[in-house]
Amino acid sequence: MLTKTASHEADRDRTEAADTLLEVEGLAKSFKGTVALHSVDLSIRRGEFFTLLGPSGSGKTTTLRLIAGFERPDSGSVRLDGRDVARLAPFKRDVNTVFQDYALFPHMSVAENIAYGLEAKRVAREERGKRVAEALRMVQLERFADRSPSALSGGQRQRVGLARAIVNRPRLLLLDEPLGALDLKLRQEMQLELKHIQEEIGITFLYVTHDQEEALSMSDRIAVFNDGRIEQIGSPSEVYEKPKSEFVAGFVGTSSLVERGGDRLVLRPEKVHIARSAEAFTGEGWHVETGRIAESVYLGLYTRHIVRLDAGETVVSVEQNAEGPASTLAAARGQPVTVAWRKANVFALPGERQTMEKQT
Amino acid sequence: MESRLTRILLGAWVVGVLAFLFIPIGIILLYAFNASNVQSWPIPGFSLKWFPETFANREVRMALWLSVKAGVIATILSVCLGTMAAFAVHRFRFYGREALSFIVVLPIALPGIITGMALNSFFVFWHLPLSFWTIVIGHTTFCIVIVYNNVLARLRRVSASLSEASMDLGANAWTTFRRVTFPSISTALIAGGLLAFALSFDEVIVTTFTAGAQNTLPLWIFGAIRLGQKLPEVNVIVLVVTAVTFVPILLAYRMTARASQD
C-alpha cells in the first residue's frame, strides 16, 4: 500500500516535470546596490497563461527581462525545457517578447517588422511569406501589411508587436504590460483577443501586469510580486479567495481586515452582508455583528456601503441592486445595521499566529 | 497679455535685429553682381563678369579645392570618431565617462584662438611641419563635437527597446546595429556630417595657426580683404561660400526636423 502510493507520487512528479516548460530558481538581481529581486522561484507549465502581477518596482518586469535575456542575473537559474539559459544572449533563447512601448522598427513596414525574426533565423523566403501572412491574419491586419507603423493606432501597433513575436513560434512568449498604453475599452477588447490567440496557437504566455482585474480575467495562474519577492502563486480564485498575506489581500481586489478570536480575517465586500435586523441571518454558520452605515454609494450595478462596526473596524459591503435602488438600504449616515458573513466563506490570513507559534 | 504697443515695439525690435544681422550679408551677395570694381552704394549696374574672372584665378581654384578636401576628410574623421564617442557615452557606464564627454565638447566652447595656438605649439614642439594634414586635424577637433552632439541626442531619443526587440527576435549584435540601430541614427549622422562640413569650410582662426603655406578659401578671402585687393572676386567667393555652407545647414535642419516628427 505504502509503496503503491509512493510510486503513484513519483509518476505524478515525472509527468509534472515533463509538463514544466520554464523553471526559475533562486533568481536574484540588484541594480547599483538596490535589490530589485531577492530570490524568485517559479515553475510554468506548457501551454499555461501565467501572469506576474504586482505594483511598479515589485520585480515583475525585472523577472521578465531576466527570462528574456535583457539582463544578467546576479545568481539563480532560468531553465527552459531543462536547459539553463540564464547567461545566454537574448538571440540564443527560444523566447520572444511583446513590449509595452511596442518597439516596432520605425523604418520598416508592418510586414517587414513581422518578417524580421524569420529573416534573422534564415527561414526560406517562401515559408517566410506564408508565415507572415498567417500572422497578419491572426491579428486581423492583412490590409495593413505595407503601412508604416507610424500610420497605425496604438491598438494596431500592439497587434503588430504580437504578430512579430508569435510568427517565430517561440516556446514561451513574454508580454511586458502589452496593454498598458491603451485606453480601457481597447484594453478589454485586446484582453479577450490575446486570450483567444493564446488558445489558438497554444504558446505558453508569461504576462506582466499591474492590473489585478486583467490578471484575474486572463490567467491560468498568477504570481503576486511585492518588493522583489513572490508573495503567492495560485489560480485567480485561489489568490482572490485565499490570499496568503495582507499584501495580496489588499492588492488583488478590495478587502477589509478584521481580527476576531486571534484570526486576521480577509473580508471581501461581496461576502459581507448587511440588513436592518439580525433576523435575516438565522441558521448555521453565520457570524453576526452590529454597526452603523458610514457611507453608501449607489453605483448602478450595485451599491457600496462602508460600515463602521461597533467593534471598531470599518468594513465594505456591496449589495446588488437586483430589485432596483429602492430595495437597497438607501441608508442614511449613522443608521444602525446588522453585519454578517458566513464563516466558511471568509479566509483567515496565515501569518501572525504562525509567527507567534514559531517564536514560542 | 502685453499691450498692443509693447507687441508692436517688440516686433520692431526683432525686425531691427534681423535686419542688422542679414542686410550686410545681402549687400555683399549683391556686390558679387556689381558691374563696377569700386564698392559703392547704390551699385552702378548688374554684371556677371566677375564670376568667370574669379574662377579663372588659379589661387582661388586651389584654395577652393583645398577647403573642400580638408572639409571632406575632417567630416569623415569626425563622423567616425564622434559616432563612436557618442555610442560609448550612451551605451556604457565607465570610469571617466563624464570627463570624456566634457573633453569631446570642449573644443567648441574654447575660443578658436586658444585651440589654434595650442595645436600650433604642439606641432612645432614635435617638429611636425604644418601641412594639409595639420589643417585637417585642427578642423576635426571641433567637427567631432557637432557629430557627437547630434548622434548622442538621437541615441537618447531612440527607445532602448528597439535594439532589445531586434536581439529578442534572434538578430545578433552586428545585425542589430546594421538593420536597426544604424538606420535609426542615419539622419543624425548625415545632419551632423553636413554641419561639420559647413563649419570646417568657413573656418579661419584655427586654420590660421595650423596651415603652412597653403591657403584655404577663407584664408585667401581674409588675406585679400586685409590687403584690399581683388574685392570683386572676394564678393563672388563669399556668394559661393554662403551657398556651399547654407545648403548643408538647411538640409541638416530639415533632416532633424523630420526625424523629430516621427
Smallest Cβ–Cβ distance between B170 and the set A91, A103, A106 belongs to A91
Residue A150 has pLDDT above 60, yes or no: yes
**Every domain of chain B and the residues it spans:** 52-261
pLDDT at residue B243 in the model:
83
Tens of pLDDT, residues A217-250: 999 999 999 999 999 999 999 999 999 999 999 9
pLDDT at residue A327 in the model:
55
Residue of B nearest to A114 (CA): B169
Smallest Cβ–Cβ distance between A101 and the set B159, B183, B262 belongs to B159
CATH number of B52-261: 1.10.3720.10
Neighboring chain B residues of A99 at a CB cutoff of 8 Å? 161, 164-165
Backbone angle region of B124, left / alpha / beta, with phi > 0 → left and psi within -120 to 50 → alpha: alpha
pLDDT at residue B44 in the model:
76
Q: Do A96 and B159 touch (CB under 8 A)?
A: no
Q: How many A×B Cβ pairs under 8 Å?
A: 65
List the A314-320 sheet strands across, edge first.
A273-275, A336-342, A286-298, A302-309, A314-320
Distance from CA of A103 to the nearest CA of B (A): 5
Portion 157-186 of B in contact with A at CB < 8 A: 159, 161-162, 164-172, 175, 179-180, 183-184
CATH number of A22-246: 3.40.50.300
Q: Do A116 and B179 touch (CB under 8 A)?
A: yes
Distance from CA of A42 to the nearest CA of B (A): 22
Residue A358 has pLDDT above 50, yes or no: no
C-alpha cell at A48: 499555461
**Every domain of chain A and the residues it spans:** 22-246, 254-349
Q: Which amino acid would we find at residue A71? A: E
pLDDT at residue A330 in the model:
58
pLDDT at residue A184 in the model:
87
The better pLDDT of the pair A259, A67 is held by A67
Q: Do A105 and B162 touch (CB under 8 A)?
A: yes
B34: helix, coil or strand?
strand
pLDDT at residue A11 in the model:
54
Peptide bond into A73 cis (omega under 30): no
The phi and psi torsions of A318 (rounded to 5 degrees) equal -115, 145
Nearest to A133 by CA among A124, A123, A143: A143
Q: Is B95 exposed, middle or buried (0-12, 13-18, 19+ CB in 10 A)?
A: exposed
Distance from CA of B79 to the nearest CA of A (A): 22
Work out the pLDDT band at A357, boundaries 50, 70, 90: very low
CATH number of A254-349: 2.40.50.100
Tens of pLDDT, residues A266-303: 999 999 998 888 888 888 889 999 999 998 888 888 88
CA angle (B202, B203, B209) in 5-degree steps: 150
pLDDT at residue A360 in the model:
32
* ipTM > 0.90 for the complex: no
pLDDT at residue B14 in the model:
95
Neighboring chain B residues of A117 at a CB cutoff of 8 Å? 169-171
Q: Do A97 and B168 touch (CB under 8 A)?
A: yes
Residues of chain B with pLDDT under 70: 1-2, 258-262
| B6 interfacial to chain A (CB closer than 8 Å) | no
Q: Which amino acid would we find at residue A295? A: E
Residue of A nearest to B185 (CA): A107
pLDDT at residue A351 in the model:
64
Tens of pLDDT, residues B52-65: 888 888 888 899 89
CA B166 to each of CA A99, A158, A287, B179: distance values in angstroms, whole numbers, following the listed order: 12, 16, 58, 9
pLDDT at residue A353 in the model:
47
Tens of pLDDT, residues A207-217: 999 999 999 99
With contact defined as beta carbons under 8 Å apart, do B100 and B89 qualify?
Answer: yes
Residue of A nearest to B182 (CA): A107
